[in-house]
């Protein structure tokens, strides 16, 4: 088991941003992406008056995090759910509003480190990539059954892969000979499909294709598109939201939702802006903050992280 899995990204920054909202007794903080519980444990330890609700779709992560958080007893409630289900989870628990929300997006260290999950391109494994292995289609099914046009769209949109057409042409040729099942064959195919110049820069040439497949298999962007507005809607006035994203597509979605909440929606030219048009959010970060160089040196998985935060300053407009 790799030690890197125990290192939450930008942990102190997350705690500092959420701190003003979590000092009062009875404050509730939601960790929407529990993983192995690193952020959750730090929240419970740092804010002894707060209660935690933590969500994850991965039953293995829930089990491991449950052991880790057991010392905190009933201050921690762990729920198997995808993070766009946050409103339904809070309704079931009878919690109308919360004071803090944290998202640490992307794939967890545990999922990357467990070879049999098929997330990592550096080792041969079944092409699965489902965060919840009890439901949905695997990466192998996507590769073997999707029409070529859909595969090209997925690689271009979710992987920002310039050579999507070349890679997909090779995939279609190969899957007719034999369906894909393991990652090593796909990695080799991608290496062969790319021009020499493209293989000399940017790390492993399979990285973008694997990212694209993972996002498709787990519906990550569609879920996120619903989840951030849903989370903002459950923040109490004075509550704070912190979001860590790991690629430009996630960060763009987060930026759009927070910026929209921080804008006034009045028609132009009004001499006084009525209450219903006033911003609901105040941005707490200027643009996306990056991890410090020292953190990246100590934990390479922090390198692509982008951090944004906002505070709820007004109820929803009637």
49-61: pLDDT as tens digits: 999 999 998 888 8
Decide if pLDDT at 268 tops 90.
Answer: no
Q: Minimum mean pLDDT among 38-47, 194-203, 231-240, 304-313: which range?
A: 194-203
The reported pLDDT for the residue numbered 177 is 95
What is the rounded average pLDDT of the residues 136-156?
Answer: 96
- The residue segments making up the domain with residue 124 are 115-218
Element (H, E) at 221: helix 220-233
Give which of 135, 116, 125, 114 is closest to 36, Cα–Cα.
114
Q: What is the pLDDT of residues 110-140, one digit of tens each?
A: 444 454 444 566 667 889 888 778 788 999 9
b/e map of 57-69 (b: 16 or more CB within 10 Å)? bbebbbebbeebb
The reported pLDDT for the residue numbered 1 is 33
288 shares a domain with 236: yes
Decide if pLDDT at 109 tops 90.
Answer: no
The reported pLDDT for the residue numbered 110 is 47
Q: Is 277 annotated as a binding residue?
A: no
Q: How far apart are CA 60 and CA 120, in angstroms?
A: 17
163 shares a domain with 261: no
How many domains are there within the chain? 2
Q: How far apart are CA 211 and CA 186, in angstroms?
A: 13
CB 190 within 8 A of CB 101: no
Domain boundary residue, one of 183, 201, 218: 218
Establish if 155 belongs to a structural domain: yes
Q: Is 37 annotated as a binding residue?
A: yes
CB 83 within 8 A of CB 227: yes
Q: Is 38 annotated as a binding residue?
A: yes
b/e map of 206-219 (b: 16 or more CB within 10 Å)? bbbbbbbbbbbbbe
What is the rounded average pLDDT of the residues 85-101?
Answer: 98
Q: How far apart are CA 218 and CA 154, in angstroms?
A: 13
299 shares a domain with 206: no
Establish if 318 belongs to a structural domain: no
The reported pLDDT for the residue numbered 4 is 39
pLDDT band for position 6 (50/70/90)?
A: low
Domain boundary residue, one of 186, 218, 250: 218
- pTM score over 0.75: yes
The reported pLDDT for the residue numbered 202 is 63
The reported pLDDT for the residue numbered 7 is 78
Decide if pLDDT at 156 tops 90.
Answer: yes
242 shares a domain with 103: yes
Q: How far apart are CA 287 and CA 189, in angstroms?
A: 38
CATH number for the domain spanning 205: value is 1.10.150.170
Q: How far apart are CA 293 and CA 13, in angstroms?
A: 14
Q: At what angle do helices 38-46 and 59-69 cross, to 10 degrees?
A: 30
12 shares a domain with 105: yes
pLDDT band for position 75 (50/70/90)?
A: very high
Domain boundary residue, one of 218, 252, 269: 218
pLDDT band for position 92 (50/70/90)?
A: very high
211 shares a domain with 120: yes
Can you spell out the DSSP letters for 161-208? Answer: -TTHHHHHHHHHHHHHHS---BHHHHHHHHHHHS-HHHHSSSS-TTHH
The reported pLDDT for the residue numbered 262 is 96
Share the mean pLDDT of the chain: 89
Q: How far apart are CA 92 and CA 284, in angstroms?
A: 30
Residue 77 DSSP code = E
What is the rounded average pLDDT of the residues 76-102?
Answer: 97
What is the rounded average pLDDT of the residues 148-160?
Answer: 95
CATH number for the domain spanning 229: value is 3.40.50.150
Establish if 11 belongs to a structural domain: yes
The reported pLDDT for the residue numbered 273 is 80
């Amino acid at each position: 088991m790799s030690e890197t899995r125990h290192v939450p990204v930008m942990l102190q920054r997350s705690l500092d941003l959420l701190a003003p909202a979590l000092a009062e007794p009875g404050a509730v903080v939601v960790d929407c992406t529990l993983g192995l519980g690193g952020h959750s444990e730090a929240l419970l330890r740092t804010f002894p008056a707060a209660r935690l609700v933590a969500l994850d779709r991965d039953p293995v992560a829930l089990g491991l995090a449950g052991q880790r958080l057991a010392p905190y007893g009933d201050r921690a409630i762990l729920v198997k759910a995808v993070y766009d289900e946050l409103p339904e989870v809070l309704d079931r628990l009878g919690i109308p509003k919360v004071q803090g929300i944290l998202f640490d997006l992307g794939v967890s260290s545990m999922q990357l480190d467990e070879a049999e999950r098929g997330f990592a391109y550096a080792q041969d494994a079944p092409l699965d990539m489902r965060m919840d292995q009890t439901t949905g289609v695997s990466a192998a099914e996507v590769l073997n059954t999707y029409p070529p046009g859909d595969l090209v769209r997925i690689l271009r949109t979710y992987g920002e892969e310039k050579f999507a057409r070349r890679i997909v042409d090779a995939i279609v040729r190969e899957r007719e000979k034999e369906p894909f099942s393991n990652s090593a064959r796909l990695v080799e195919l991608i290496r062969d499909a790319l021009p020499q110049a493209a293989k000399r820069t940017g790390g492993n040439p399979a990285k973008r294709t694997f990212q694209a497949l993972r996002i498709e298999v787990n519906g990550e962007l569609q879920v996120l598109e619903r989840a951030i507005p849903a989370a903002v809607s459950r923040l109490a006035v004075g509550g704070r939201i912190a979001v860590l994203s790991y690629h430009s597509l996630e960060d763009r979605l987060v930026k759009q939702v927070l910026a929209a909440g921080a804008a006034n929606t009045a028609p132009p030219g009004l001499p006084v802006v009525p209450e219903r048009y006033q911003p609901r959010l105040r941005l707490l970060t200027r643009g996306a903050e990056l991890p410090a160089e020292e953190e990246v040196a100590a934990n390479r998985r922090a390198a692509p992280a982008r951090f944004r935060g906002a505070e709820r300053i007004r109820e929803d407009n009637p």
